[in-house]
Amino acid sequence: MFGDYEAQRHWQEITFNLPIKQWYFNSSDNNLQYWGLDYPPLTAYHSFLCAYVAKFINPDWIALHSSRGYESQAHKLFMRATVLIADLLIYIPAVVLYCCCLKEISTKKKIATALCILLYPGLILIDYGHFQYNSVSLGFALWGILGVSYDWDLLGSLAFCLAINYKQMELYHSLPFFCFLLGKCFKKGLKGKGLVLLIKLACTVVASFILCWLPFFTEREQTLQVLRRLFPVDRGLFEDKVANIWCSFSVFFKIRDILPHHIQIMISFCFTFLSLLPACIKLTLHPSPKGFRFTLVSCALSFFLFSFQVHEKSILLVSLPVCLVLSEIPFMSTWFLLVSTFSMLPLLLKDELLMPSVVTVMAFFIACATSFSIFEKTSEEELQLKCFSTSVRKYFTCFTFLPRIIQHLFLMSVITMILLTTMTVTLDPPQKLPDLFAVLVCFVSCLHFLFFLVYFTIIIMWDSKTGRSQKKIS
Amino acid sequence: MAAFGIATGGSNWFSALALGVTLLKCLLIPTYHSTDFEVHRNWLAITHSLPISQWYYEATSEWTLDYPPFFAWFEYALSHVAKYFDQEMLNVRNLNYSSSRTLLFQRFSVIFTDALFVYAVHECCKCIDGKKAGKELTEKPKFILSALLLWNFGLLIVDHIHFQYNGFLSGLMLLSIARFFQKRHMEGAFLFAVLLHFKHIYLYVAPAYGVYLLRSYCFTANKQDGSIRWNSFSFVRLISLGLIVFLVSALSLGPFLALNQLPQVFSRLFPFKRGLCHAYWAPNFWALYSALDKVLSVIGLNDKWFSSAVPTHSPSLSDSLGHLYLHSDCHVGPRGFLRCLILCALSSFMFGWHVHEKAILLAVLPMSLLSVGKAVDASIFLILTTTGHYSLFPLLFTAPELPIKIILMLLFTIYSISSLKTLFRKEKPLFNWMETFYLLGLGPLEVFCEFVFPFTSWNLKYPFIPLLLTSVYCAVGITYAWLKLYVSVLIDPPVGKTKKQ
């Protein structure tokens, strides 16, 4: 399996055998074309730690050069064990703690929520099937969300900085964190406590970055090389088939070939920020934990849909915040999480994970359906669209059919996903269009994601004062 | 939408349990499988490609047909579905053929036939009274019993990893037990007769069936104090039972009788040339005996007479004669029958000839039915099950299965102990300090055998030590459970007709 599994093994080999200064540089010992390191330093340190354990068990696994493509049952067990240990230490405690701290729901519901979040198929399949360490970065991000939501701002930002320094994709979540914390500082008053908090936060962030990047700050060239590896701007707008706007758009309009490179970057930048700006501004002006969670969703989704060089696995960055709002809007969250797993279908099929995918998706769906009774929670109020519908009804009095539309859409969506999955597995694509099914999957998923982006933005923008005034009344 | 909602709602917990474990079984498809996989593939090939007259003579592969004829017919039926998956697996010459389609077919056949086991569990749940039930679903005896049976760790790893068809066979046995509880004795007898002709290992428990049917079905009434009323013997019932057994046997062995192949069939079914112990010692009396023998030989105290004093027959017959005496005197009912059955199974496991450690499941599964009834039974069940399941560990010796077996075993053990403790929390604690210590000792034993020992120097000189330790340690536990069960049967009055449900 010469994929991410070999990449991770190779990184253990590199970090153990070579000095730090050579980790990110091309040399005779370190061929960057062969799975070169392209994650921030914390990943490298983690690989170094795993390599130390590997050396104790069997040095052949990480011998320089000679261990390329090494595969044995014991090694596989070791690598999978490292993912499991990372999961147990970082991600799972965060999820359990998050569910314990949920307010206004019974203990049974808390346990059910924790179970459903942990059963999310996408993360399980990518981390244990495809092989990655997403649970580490997502776990740190979750600790950050926990800290910041419950006013442990410094620890929260420290955890989030660790997350960014583990995988740079966590930058998708950085804007909501920034806006939320800024909003908190504004609320406390910029002339007093707010300013103190701002300075403390800034110091925490800078200190954590310095701590992680210390060996690479000694020379300017080191820092620049690492940054070059992390953000390969030379690559195009997208690679392979991914369920975002540019890939779907290029079905009709070959945007990659027509527009010059820097224009592509500009367009992607503009669209991304245009779509996430309203939510972020709202969060800065009215910071609240609930708004924070929803803004995380919409921000990450905007980045996924419009940003540069997005991989299909980045949908996990959106799935994590959606898991967090599972208890508030179970129906839409479950729907989104199913679509997010479906969007990775081409990747999962490439890894021969059809049976585990089907089984985990079914288990997740049954768990959510029974724990939250999702099919009974499709009224306007349950979907948190009450304020929106009321506003629309001022102009269109007949706008009462929203729940029914959404139910029908859900049914159609599930049927389409099942149909596409069956077709991809059983049929051969026509010779002229060998990627037909992959493109169809991406296109359909993209439409879904656009719908969800609109939905979550509506919730954020219409949430506000009516929501809070209702709470004051009750 | 609402109807769909009700269908997936939380009211149907039994379906959720069954569906959940089926999904887990699907995930176990690509795991390690033992030679039993090739055994069953070979039998598919034999029954499909060869005429009946050759089924019990075919010996191209070393895994010859050694189950009774009904199982051969079962494989024959399966082979007709198999040909749509992969025709090549049905070729007798294709030894060790295991394409991905073959694997998929075989694994799915086990998962599919487990439907009978699910139905049997459903029927057994009806026989459990819910007197002790709390309001909470997870505290109801029915729920606990379903979870303990459907998610039984031993059955999962033996059937769906090691590869066997114990699911539907155990389903037949549990179904016949349930029928006895429901007073449908003829059906129960029929089901057991059929079961015997599927897998003859169930002969171990046949005495229990025989005695119970004689005592409770043929004698139609009891005296005031519960003992036998000798003049209520019903010849009609005896004849009808005999007729059932005769007809089933005729259906099964008839063709082979006509072909004059009965001696060959029996020589395949009962191969007495094999040794007293299997390659890996089942944790029974003989394991303790052999361990003692080895220890004595190492010390130098080995006398010839000690090892030659091995009895050559299974004493389960003497057990059942003892039960005959017991039951003729006391109250008897389905619950007493269940105890007798479990005791038969356990005694045969303890003293039987060439016993395989998988045979512990014969005792564990029916014991689950008793465990939700009384605290004493729960305690015996937990010791028996935990030790029995741990003794199955050496069956899965490959590295990838290590986390699976440890995690599943932990889940099942923790669930069974905690749920039964909650169910019987108003009575005295389930375990005394000795039993707790013994059960906790399984953890360090596992760590030593799987994680420490392979890295020591003894691994090369004495590679059998982990197996020896496992076998002996478990034998102690199983013997203890057996003795405790025996004592409880002798001392307590069996729950009979006095306690109506």
Residue B131: its pLDDT value, please? 64
The secondary structure of A363-376 as a DSSP string is HHHHHHHHHH-GGG
Mean pLDDT of chain B: 84
Residue B436 has pLDDT above 50, yes or no: yes
Rounded mean pLDDT, B210-230: 76
Bridge partner residues of B219 (DSSP):
B233
Residue A179: its pLDDT value, please? 93
Lookup: tokens for A69: 């493509």
The pTM is what?
Answer: 0.87
Residue B311 has pLDDT above 60, yes or no: no
Per-residue pLDDT band at B454 (split at 50, 70, 90) = confident
Q: How far is B287 from chain A (nearest CA, A)?
A: 31
Residue A467: its pLDDT value, please? 44
**Cβ atoms < 10 Å from Cβ of A60:** 13
Cβ–Cβ below 8 Å for A370 and B4: no
Cβ–Cβ below 8 Å for A366 and B20: yes
| Proportion of chain A above pLDDT 90, given as a percent | 50
Residue A405: its pLDDT value, please? 86
Lookup: tokens for B273: 């040339």
The secondary structure of B124-141 as a DSSP string is HHHTS--TT--SSGGGSH
Query: What is the C-alpha to C-alpha distance for residues A228 and A223, in angstroms, rounded to an integer?
Result: 9
Cβ–Cβ below 8 Å for B23 and A370: no
Residue B310: its pLDDT value, please? 47
H-only helix segments in A307-374: 315-324, 330-343, 345-350, 354-372
Cα torsion B338, B343, B344, B347 to 10°: value is: 170
Chain B: residue whose CA lies nearest to A84: B403
Residue B278 has pLDDT above 70, yes or no: no
Query: What is the C-alpha to C-alpha distance for residues B283 and B158, in angstroms, rounded to an integer?
Result: 16
List chain A residues with CB under 8 Å of B5: 369, 373-376
Lookup: tokens for B213: 């049917």
Query: What is the C-alpha to C-alpha distance for residues B173 and B79, in angstroms, rounded to an integer?
Result: 25
Lookup: tokens for B295: 């220890």
* Highest-pLDDT range among B214-223, B367-376, B488-497: B367-376
Per-residue pLDDT band at A404 (split at 50, 70, 90) = confident
Cβ–Cβ below 8 Å for B403 and A80: yes
Residue B378 has pLDDT above 90, yes or no: yes
Cβ–Cβ below 8 Å for A370 and B26: no
Per-residue pLDDT band at B302 (split at 50, 70, 90) = low
Residue A263: its pLDDT value, please? 82
Per-residue pLDDT band at A1 (split at 50, 70, 90) = very low
Residue A470 has pLDDT above 50, yes or no: no
CA A357 remoteness from chain centre:
19
Nearest to A375 among B8, B29, B30 (CB): B8
Residue B493: its pLDDT value, please? 60
| Proportion of chain B above pLDDT 70, given as a percent | 84
B9 lies within 8 A of chain A by CB: yes
Bridge partner residues of B402 (DSSP):
none
Cβ–Cβ below 8 Å for B27 and A369: no
List chain B residues with CB under 8 Å of A71: none
**Helix (H), strand (E), coil (C) string for B351-383:** HCCCCCHHHHHHHHHHHHHHHCCCHHHHHHHHH
List chain A residues with CB under 8 Å of B10: 370-371, 373
Q: How far is A69 from chain B (nearest CA, A)?
A: 19
Query: What is the C-alpha to C-alpha distance for residues A10 and B19, in angstroms, rounded to an integer?
Result: 40
**Counting Cβ atoms within 10 Å, is residue A55 exposed (0-12), middle (13-18) or buried (19+)?**
middle
Chain B: residue whose CA lies nearest to A353: B27
Query: What is the C-alpha to C-alpha distance for residues A350 and A341, in angstroms, rounded to an integer?
Result: 14
B4 lies within 8 A of chain A by CB: yes
Residue B111: its pLDDT value, please? 95
Name the residue with tokens 């390690």: B32
The CA angle A5-A9-A12, to the nearest 5 degrees, is 145
Residue B319: its pLDDT value, please? 57
Nearest to B5 among A84, A356, A375 (CB): A375
Lowest model confidence (mean pLDDT) among A22-31, B29-38, B324-333: B324-333
List chain B residues with CB under 8 Å of A362: 23
CB-based contact B158:B187 (threshold 8 Å): no
The type of residue at A474 is S
Query: What is the C-alpha to C-alpha distance for residues B58 and B264, in angstroms, rounded to an integer?
Result: 11
pLDDT tens-digit map of B404-426:
999 999 999 999 999 999 999 88
pLDDT tens-digit map of B233-272:
888 888 999 999 999 999 999 999 998 888 888 888 887 6
Nearest to A359 among B9, B26, B400 (CB): B26
List chain A residues with CB under 8 Å of B30: 355
Residue B219, φ and ψ in degrees, nearest 5: -90, 105
Using alpha carbons, select from B252, B265, B268 the residue that is nearest to residue B63: B268
**Counting Cβ atoms within 10 Å, is residue A40 exposed (0-12), middle (13-18) or buried (19+)?**
buried
Give Cβ neighbours of residue B378 (< 8 Å, ≥ 6 apart).
B371, B372, B420, B423, B424, B430
Mean pLDDT of chain A: 88
pLDDT tens-digit map of A330-381:
999 999 999 999 999 999 998 889 999 999 999 999 889 888 887 777 777 7
Three-class secondary structure of residue B228 per DSSP: strand
Rounded mean pLDDT, A75-80: 90
pLDDT tens-digit map of B339-358:
888 988 888 888 876 678 88
The type of residue at A198 is L
Residue A62: its pLDDT value, please? 86
CB-based contact A377:A330 (threshold 8 Å): yes
Per-residue pLDDT band at B328 (split at 50, 70, 90) = very low
| Proportion of chain A above pLDDT 70, given as a percent | 95
* Highest-pLDDT range among A155-164, A237-246, A280-289: A155-164
Give Cβ neighbours of residue B207 (< 8 Å, ≥ 6 apart).
B316, B317, B319, B320, B323, B344
DSSP A379: S
Residue B132: its pLDDT value, please? 59
Q: How far is A291 from chain B (nearest CA, A)?
A: 30
pLDDT tens-digit map of A36-75:
888 999 999 999 999 999 998 888 888 888 888 888 888 9
Cβ–Cβ below 8 Å for A73 and B400: yes
Bridge partner residues of A310 (DSSP):
A238
Rounded mean pLDDT, A241-270: 80
Q: How far is A332 from chain B (nearest CA, A)?
A: 15
Residue A174 has pLDDT above 70, yes or no: yes
Residue B89: its pLDDT value, please? 87
Rounded mean pLDDT, A403-409: 87
Per-residue pLDDT band at B227 (split at 50, 70, 90) = low
Residue B174 has pLDDT above 80, yes or no: yes
B5 lies within 8 A of chain A by CB: yes
Residue B418: its pLDDT value, please? 93
Residue B318 has pLDDT above 80, yes or no: no
Bridge partner residues of A238 (DSSP):
A310
List chain A residues with CB under 8 Å of B8: 366, 369-370, 375
Using alpha carbons, select from B131, B21, B29, B31 the residue that is nearest to residue B402: B31
Chain B: residue whose CA lies nearest to A77: B400
B286/A152: higher pLDDT = A152
Residue B223 has pLDDT above 70, yes or no: no
Residue A349: its pLDDT value, please? 92
* Highest-pLDDT range among A267-281, A311-325, A372-386, A458-472: A311-325
How far CA B78 is from CA of B86, B112, B491, in Å, comes to: 12, 11, 48
Rounded mean pLDDT, A440-446: 93
Rounded mean pLDDT, A82-110: 92
Rounded mean pLDDT, B280-294: 75
CB-based contact A291:A463 (threshold 8 Å): yes
